[in-house]
C-alpha cells in the first residue's frame, strides 16, 4: 500500500489563510510532501482592509478579487467551497454545512473532510454586543457580500437624491465604531460623492452628504497612538464628518441610533463597525478554550491549547504576549502568524523542534482616501515609533497591500498586476456604478 502524504487543512481564506496555503503549496504540495486543502465559504478573496473601498464602489471585487480555485491551480494546493460547522478531534474530521445557492436550493449535502493537521484562520466579525435592533437595521462590513449590499444601498440613495431638487435634502449616514474601518469609510464616502458628477449624478455632491461617526470610547482610533487619532479627527472634521466621541449606542431603530442619553441620531443608512470577535459558531463547537470575544487560546507555537494538531492564526487567535497583552487583530498579525505556522508545520513533518511565535509591531496606518494618510512606524533600532503622514504614509499604506499580493502571487505577477491597474484606471470608471 502506498503511503499517503499528510493532509493539512486550512479553514479560512483571509490574508493569513491564503498566504499560508500559497507558501505550503509551493514548499510541500508541489513536491507531494503534503496535501494542502484550503476551505472557505466564499469563492474569492479580497484583502479585508480594502472592504470599505468595496463598500463605496472605489474597488470592484469582481475585478480585484482573487478566485480561490484558479489561484489554487497555480500554487499547488486544493480549494473546497464550504462553511465549517463541526469538529471531531478523535477521528480528525471537520464537517462542512450543506451548501445552497442564492434561492435556497441545495448544491451539496453536509460533508466531512479528514485532516492530519488543521489550521483555523476563520477571521473575525463586528461585535454588536447584542445591542437591540442592530442586526435588523444596520449594515456590517465583515465580508465582500456585506460590503456589496452596502454599495447597492449607497447607489440607490445617491440616485434618489440626484432626482431631488431641494438642496436642503441630504444623505445622512451614521457609522458606529471609530476604529480604522469607521474612520476610513467616512473619508472614502466623501471621496466617492465628489466623483459622482463625472457620471451624471451632478446634483449629488459632497455638500449633500452628512456623516455621523459614533465612538463609545473617549477618542476615535483607540488602539492607535493619540497623535494619529488627533490628526485623523482633524481631517474628518475638515471634510464635514460629525465625530461623536464618548457616545454609547443602546438601540438601533429603522432610521436612527438611540444613545445612552436618549439622543436619537437619525440616518438614511446605518453601519455597525464596532468591536471585534471571532464568529459565534466557534462557541457551538464546544472544544476550545475561548476568550470573551470567542478567540481561540493558543500556546507559544500557535497550537490550540487543547490539541497540538490544530493551529490557529489571524483575528480568531488569542495569543498572549510576555507582557500579558494580546496580539492585536491586524493584517500584519495574520501575516506573521502565517509565517510562523508555515515553519512549524514543516518542522513537525520533519520531527524537528517548533519555533515560538513572537509578534513584531511594525506600526499602524490609516488611509483617509485621497485626502490624507496618517500613521506610525516602529523603528528597527529602538522600540519607539515615529509619526508619518501625507505622501510617505500613503506610499507605506499601498506597500502593505503590495506585500500581501507578493505573498500570494509572487513578485513577477504583483508587478504585472500593478501595471494592469494603471491601464485599467484609464479604460474603466473610477468607481463601480452597478
> What are the structural domain ranges in the chain?
7-125+277-349, 134-272, 363-427
SS3 190: helix
Q: How confident is the model at residue 19 (pLDDT cuts 50, 70, 90)?
A: very high
385 versus 406: the higher-pLDDT residue is 406
Grid cell locating 197:
458628477
Residue 1 has pLDDT above 50, yes or no: no
Per-residue model confidence as pLDDT tens digits over 226-238? 999 999 999 999 9
For CA atoms 376, 378, 379, 380, the dihedral sign is negative
Query: In the chain, what percentage of residues exceed pLDDT 70?
Result: 96
* Calculated CA dihedral for residues 176, 180, 186, 188, nearest 10 degrees: -150
Pair type for strands 269-272 and 307-312: unpaired
Instruction: Tell me which DSSP letter residue 131 carries.
Output: -
CATH of domain 7-125+277-349: 3.50.50.60
Q: How confident is the model over 383-412, as a mean pLDDT?
A: 86
* Degrees, nearest 5: CA angle 147-181-192: 60
Q: How confident is the model over 388-403, as a mean pLDDT?
A: 87
Per-residue model confidence as pLDDT tens digits over 145-183? 999 999 999 999 999 988 887 878 899 999 999 999 999
Q: How confident is the model over 346-365, as a mean pLDDT?
A: 95
User: Among 172-181, 269-278, 297-306, 380-389, whose mean pLDDT is lowest?
Assistant: 380-389
Q: How confident is the model over 404-412, as a mean pLDDT?
A: 94
1 versus 202: the higher-pLDDT residue is 202
pLDDT at residue number 302: 99
Q: Fold identical between 7-125+277-349 and 134-272?
A: yes
Per-residue model confidence as pLDDT tens digits over 308-330? 999 999 999 999 999 999 999 99
Residue 212 has pLDDT above 60, yes or no: yes
Residue 379 has pLDDT above 60, yes or no: no
Instruction: Tell me which DSSP letter residue 215 carries.
Output: E
Per-residue model confidence as pLDDT tens digits over 113-146? 999 999 999 999 999 999 999 999 999 999 999 9
| Threshold 0.75, pTM exceeds | yes
Closest Cα to residue 311, out of 93, 143, 119, 124? 119
**If you write DSSP's letter for every residue of 301-345 in order, what string do you get?**
TSEETTEEEEEE-GGGEE-B-TTSPBPP--HHHHHHHHHHHHHHH
Residue 391 has pLDDT above 90, yes or no: no
408 versus 1: the higher-pLDDT residue is 408
Average pLDDT, the chain: 93
CATH T-level fold of 134-272: FAD/NAD(P)-binding domain (3.50.50)
pLDDT at residue number 364: 87
How many angstroms separate the first and last alpha carbons of the chain? 55
Closest Cα to residue 186, out of 145, 233, 144, 228? 233
Residue 17 has pLDDT above 90, yes or no: yes
pLDDT at residue number 380: 45
Q: How confident is the model over 336-341, as a mean pLDDT?
A: 98
Query: In the chain, what percentage of residues exceed pLDDT 90?
Result: 76
pLDDT at residue number 381: 39
* Calculated CA dihedral for residues 281, 284, 287, 289, nearest 10 degrees: 70
d(CA 373, CA 391): 7
pLDDT at residue number 382: 42
Residue 253 has pLDDT above 80, yes or no: yes
Spatial neighbors of 286 by CB under 8 A, at least 6 apart, are: none
Residue 197 has pLDDT above 90, yes or no: no
pLDDT at residue number 2: 59
d(CA 67, CA 375): 31
Amino acid at each position: 500500500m502506498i503511503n499517503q502524504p499528510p493532509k493539512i487543512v486550512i479553514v479560512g481564506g483571509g490574508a493569513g489563510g491564503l498566504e499560508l496555503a500559497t507558501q505550503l503549496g509551493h514548499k510541500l504540495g508541489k513536491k507531494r510532501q503534503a496535501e494542502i486543502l484550503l476551505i472557505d465559504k466564499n469563492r474569492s478573496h479580497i484583502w479585508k482592509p480594502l472592504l470599505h473601498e468595496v463598500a463605496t464602489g472605489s474597488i470592484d471585487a469582481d475585478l480585484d478579487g482573487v478566485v480561490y480555485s484558479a489561484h489554487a491551480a497555480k500554487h499547488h494546493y486544493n480549494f473546497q467551497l464550504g462553511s465549517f460547522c463541526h469538529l471531531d478531534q478523535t477521528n480528525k474530521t471537520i464537517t462542512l454545512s450543506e451548501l445552497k445557492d442564492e434561492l435556497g436550493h441545495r448544491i451539496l449535502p453536509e460533508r466531512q473532510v479528514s485532516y492530519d493537521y488543521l489550521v483555523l484562520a476563520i477571521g473575525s466579525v463586528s461585535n454588536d454586543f447584542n445591542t437591540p435592533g442592530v442586526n435588523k437595521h444596520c449594515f456590517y462590513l465583515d465580508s465582500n457580500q456585506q460590503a456589496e449590499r452596502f454599495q447597492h444601498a449607497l447607489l440607490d440613495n445617491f440616485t434618489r437624491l440626484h432626482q431631488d431638487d431641494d438642496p436642503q435634502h441630504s444623505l445622512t449616514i451614521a457609522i458606529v465604531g471609530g476604529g480604522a474601518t469607521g474612520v476610513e469609510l467616512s473619508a472614502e464616502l466623501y471621496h466617492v460623492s465628489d466623483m459622482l458628477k463625472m457620471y451624471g449624478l451632478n446634483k449629488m455632491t459632497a455638500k449633500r452628504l452628512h456623516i455621523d461617526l459614533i465612538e463609545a470610547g473617549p477618542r476615535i482610533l483607540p488602539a492607535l497612538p493619540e497623535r494619529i487619532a488627533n490628526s485623523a479627527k482633524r481631517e474628518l472634521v475638515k471634510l464635514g464628518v460629525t465625530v461623536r466621541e464618548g457616545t454609547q449606542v443602546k438601540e438601533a431603530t429603522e432610521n436612527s441610533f438611540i444613545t445612552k442619553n436618549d439622543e436619537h441620531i437619525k440616518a438614511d443608512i446605518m453601519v455597525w463597525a464596532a468591536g471585534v470577535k471571532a464568529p459565534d459558531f466557534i462557541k457551538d463547537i464546544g472544544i476550545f478554550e475561548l476568550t470573551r470575544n470567542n478567540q481561540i487560546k493558543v500556546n507559544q507555537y500557535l497550537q490550540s491549547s487543547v490539541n497540538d494538531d490544530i493551529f490557529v492564526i489571524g483575528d480568531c487567535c488569542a495569543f498572549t504576549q510576555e507582557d500579558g497583552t494580546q496580539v492585536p487583530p491586524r493584517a500584519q498579525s495574520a501575516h506573521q502568524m502565517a509565517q510562523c505556522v508555515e515553519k512549524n508545520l514543516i518542522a513537525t513533518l520533519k520531527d524537528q523542534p517548533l519555533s515560538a511565535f513572537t509578534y513584531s509591531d511594525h506600526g499602524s496606518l490609516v488611509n483617509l482616501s485621497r485626502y490624507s494618510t496618517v500613521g506610525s512606524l516602529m523603528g528597527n533600532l529602538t522600540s519607539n515609533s515615529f509619526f508619518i503622514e501625507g505622501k510617505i504614509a500613503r506610499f507605506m499604506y499601498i506597500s502593505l497591500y503590495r506585500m500581501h499580493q507578493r505573498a500570494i502571487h509572487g513578485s513577477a505577477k504583483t508587478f504585472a498586476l500593478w501595471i494592469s491597474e494603471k491601464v485599467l484606471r484609464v479604460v474603466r470608471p473610477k468607481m463601480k456604478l452597478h
